[in-house]
Amino acid sequence: MKARTITQEQLYALITPGYKEGLVPTERLKWDIAVIVPDCSSEKNRFTRSVAHYVDDRKKKASFLQSIGLLFEAIQDENYQAALNGSAVACKSARTFKYNNTNYKLWELKPNNKDRIYFYPVTDIPGRRKTIVLLMAYHKKDENTPSEAGDPCEEEIRSILKLKSKIEFCEEKNDSKK
């Protein structure tokens, strides 16, 4: 399994290239943010494809930018969930599932009733600091996390759990970390 860390600036660029408002200095971050990639040369992955597909109008883009901005503010603290508590973006469990007789959770950032960013926090990757793996952006039509979003995210989490000690982090292609 391969993963690539992704910066706040790179995430903003998925929506608004050149947007740099409110960037959190990377030296303040206690967590990394990453996406799973099919191979190290690939720029496309499930997360970026989902952003292109579901974050497709002005309101959805504003929600995405707000969620990413507050997530990067929150990961300046070890307990990012507590830091998000009371902010404009809720952080909550979207789904619980069992793997190897243990319960695990798919998490979501929830800026409003419909838009979501699904993720999984990994605290024990050998040789790495804590990492939040972004899995999918989604625009819900109903109350529950639909299978269309939950199933692929759960599958990716199961792969992370199974291959955690073998996750290869790809080198940055550009030097956007400052």
In tens, the pLDDT along 21-32 reads 889 999 999 999
Per the CB < 8 A criterion, the answer to whether 106 and 157 are in contact is: yes
For the entire predicted model, the pTM comes to 0.93
Per the CB < 8 A criterion, the answer to whether 132 and 108 are in contact is: no
In tens, the pLDDT along 38-52 reads 998 888 899 999 999
**pLDDT over 90 (residue 175):** no
In angstroms, rounded to a whole number, what is the distance separating the alpha carbons of residues 168 and 161? 14
